[in-house]
Amino acid sequence: MPEIVVVADAAELAERAAALMRESIDAAIRERGVARVALSGGSTPGQTYRLLGRSGLDVERCRWFFVDERNVPPDHERSNYRAAKHDLFDPAGIPSAHVFRMRGDAGEYAATLGCELGPGGRFDLIVAGIGDDGHTASLFPGTGAVRDAASVVAVEPGGGLEPRVSLGTSTLLAARRILVLVSGAGKREALARALEAGDEDEVPARIYLAAPAGVVTFVTDRASTAA
């Protein structure tokens, strides 16, 4: 069972998540010389990234990747890259050469990961979330993407949403540390379902139940966990 941390509200969640991110990044740098981190978009992590960017990161020894991305230009308002650039990369002075943007081609990003992650192909840290429909990354319910064996997958979520590129289940679960950030009453039902064993295609966030002990921490607030 993943570890579950419950804090008072969204502000405290951002503080706790930023501290946990910094802890994992510093450990990776100490142990392997560089930290390889995959970031998610969405509404929850923005303040976390802003706090992390002000924490005095060793920016020369961090490499930044993405958990998923919409097939939109990098300056599009719905681009995860654009959000991370605004909240973290620019304020922290992260060199652009250390940022590996998803460009809409799953095979291309898989090749990038093969070159950049080194032996074993593992991220040191992945920051993920849960949608109110139970999706995580861009592994959406009913699409079969959660069962795709590829390291990076192309996803057609339907419902008028943009096509996506996403890390696959195998890549997500290979990470040394995974933080799943969940905030707000709107995520309450999705979080409860994600923590119940069952069909992963129905609730893709259930994949985290299969991770080894000590890898996954859900960082939640009271609104998302209240009965």
Helix, strand or coil, per DSSP, at residue 47: helix
Quote the domain boundaries for residue 100. 3-225
- pTM check: above 0.85: yes
Distances (CA, A) of 52 to 5, 109, 130, 203: 19, 25, 21, 30
What is the pLDDT, as a whole number, of residue 96? 97
Determine the pLDDT at residue 85: 97
pLDDT of the residue at 210: 96
pLDDT in tens, 101-123: 999 899 999 999 999 997 678 99
The DSSP secondary structure of 61-123, one letter per residue, reads GEEEEESEEESS-TTSTT-HHHHHIIIIIHHHT--GGGB----S-HHHHHHHHHHHS-TT---
CA distance 183 to 129: 9
The pLDDT tens digits of the residues spanning 6-48 come to: 999 999 999 999 999 999 999 999 999 999 999 999 778 999 9
**For 25, phi and psi rounded to 5 degrees?**
-65, -45
CA atoms within 13 A on the CB side of 198: 13
Give the distance from CA 221 to its chain's centroid: 18
The answer for residues whose C-beta is within 8 angstroms of residue 47's C-beta and 6 or more apart is 10, 11, 14, 87
Model pLDDT, residue 44: 86
- The strand order across the sheet containing 3-7 reads 3-7, 216-221, 178-182, 125-129, 35-39, 62-66
Helix/strand/coil percentages in the chain, nearest 5: 40, 20, 40
| Chain centroid offset of residue 38 CA | 6
**Domain count within the chain:** 1
Can you give the CATH number for the domain in which 52 is found?
Answer: 3.40.50.1360
pLDDT less than 70: residues of the chain: 119, 227
* CA 207 – CA 158 distance, rounded (Å): 21
Give, as one character, the DSSP assignment of residue 51: H
Distance CA 59, CA 64 (A): 10
Reduced to 3 states (helix: H, G, I; strand: E, B; else coil), residue 207 is helix
